[in-house]
Amino acid sequence: MSKPVVLIAEELSPATMEALGPDFEVRHCNGADRAELLAAIVDVDAILVRSATKVDAEAIAAAKSLRVIARAGVGLDNVDVPAATQAGVMVVNAPTSNIVSAAELAITLLLSVARRVPAAHASLKAGEWKRSKFTGVELFEKTIGVVGLGRIGVLVAQRLSAFGMKVLAYDPYVQAGRAAQIGARLVSLDELLAEADFITVHLPKTPETVGLIGEEALRKVKPGVRIVNAARGGIVDEKALYDAIVEGRVAGAGLDVWAKEPTTDSPLMTLEQVVGVPHLGASTDEAQERAGIAVARSVRLALAGELVPDAVNVQGGVIAEDVRPGIPLTEKLGRILSALIGAVPQSLDVVVRGEIAEQDVRVLELAALRGIFADVVEEAVTYVNAPVLAKERGLETRLLTERVSPDYRNLVTLAGTTADGAQFSVSGTLTGPRQVEKIVEVDGLDVEVVPTEHMLFLRYEDKPGVVGVIGQHLGEAGINIAGMQVSRSSAGGEALVALTVDSAVSPEVLEAIVESIGAVSGRVVDLA
């Protein structure tokens, strides 16, 4: 088989190539050259870009084999994520690659503004020695207001706390207890503006945050405040900031980001109190290398059809550690359910019970869909195209959560209904310190089976001798039984036998067993 093709559209670190490894055919192009990009992307499986390459709807439509778009960095302004999702293409980035670099730059700007380093440096280079002109202020025992307590905001708060600063934080999506863990006091934005000697902004750019630190906010600040924005341009209103500095309400500002980029003519840069740099937040060797390695690893996972934690169009947010072990289990449940039904159900309920139901478990719905279609369609099933496959085939899904699980700490149940109204279900859990996977229910009957590569499920009317007949047929076929579990509704009623075996059961052997025991149904599940 030919190797998957990975297109490198911009210069990336050598470590990126090493992380990709030898399993891919790697091609290169100049992604900033539109014609060259559109010609090069036609038959590739993945494309790796930075910020200069525009992977828009046109490029995605031209890429007939594309499965992954990888942005070696944080922002995705140059990637049309909705178009990629519609096409079933996974989009990945490196959300944590530059957080240390960005945090350190914010602090660099803060110190530069506080001690007037750039202006003093320029004066000295001009042949002047004016110590008294550049008197600054200390951070020690001052109050820092951190606007946005995400990954970068947390790092900034932790580092400035070590300077002996009192830390206030504003973030409507963070609990007070979380802020307290890093030594910050959560307050309203108005309180932060009134009390902070320094303010540093670390929010994403959204319609709600654009202009957040604007004319109104800058009239509420503590006189002499110094403001840093190393997040996104436009969150701090540049005209309002200019006016506040000129009028003496704000003592200085450090800016890494701008409302319009690139920019070289901002009025703010005419002010000696302002330190400005051209969006250098991620511009360190370490951040670039981390970003390249992270997306290379994500590409490897994505092309293998595996879950990619950094996929932005699969599930928002970080997957909780308690949820992760349930992902492969839920995929297996999906494969077992589709085998039991013998087709794709018309509707599917993914029911998550127990402690993990308090977490974001949307990824388990995706895992179930991936399992449902894994043995049904010829194409590779991924966490991006599984919902697309479900929509195309009219499969309606619901994710239901219940925080109480009577019998197990956590339980995942897949319940499917066919077009003729027949209902099927399978449940699984993870047990013990080693999180051992177990199937604990099939169509309402209790079992306890560890899923293996080869499994056999038979439903029949409870009667003596059935187990012996099954064993005889499998023995004659040279198939060793690894485990067996029999469950029944009542003596002489409906019964289910679940077997794990060491090798595949052929259709001929299955047919012979079903006929011999008068089984209502017999299904082979191959999880290899």
In whole angstroms, give the CA distance from residue 24 to residue 3: 5
In whole angstroms, give the CA distance from residue 470 to residue 474: 6
Is position 261 annotated as part of the catalytic site? yes
Contact 259, 238 (CB under 8 A): yes
- Which residues, including other chains, have CB under 8 Å from residue 364's CB and lie 6 or more apart? 323, 326, 327, 330, 350, 352, 399, 412
- Catalytic residue, chosen from 71, 116, 279, 335, is 279
- Catalytic residue, chosen from 116, 232, 353, 459, is 232
- Which residues, including other chains, have CB under 8 Å from residue 370's CB and lie 6 or more apart? 305, 331, 334, 381, 382, 383, 386
Name the residue with tokens 């029944």: 488
In whole angstroms, give the CA distance from residue 22 to residue 313: 27
- Which residues, including other chains, have CB under 8 Å from residue 368's CB and lie 6 or more apart? 330, 331, 333, 334, 348, 350, 397, 414
- Catalytic residue, chosen from 261, 321, 379, 508, is 261
- Burial of residue 303 (CB within 10 Å: 0-12, 13-18, 19+) is buried
Residue 444, Ramachandran bin (φ over 0: left; ψ between -120 and 50: alpha; else beta): left
Angle between helices 385-392 and 362-374 (to 10 degrees): 60
Contact 253, 274 (CB under 8 A): yes
For the four alpha carbons of 74, 75, 79 and 81, in that order, the dihedral sign comes to positive
Closest C-alpha among 368, 359, 376 to residue 396: 368
* Residues belonging to the active site: 232, 261, 279
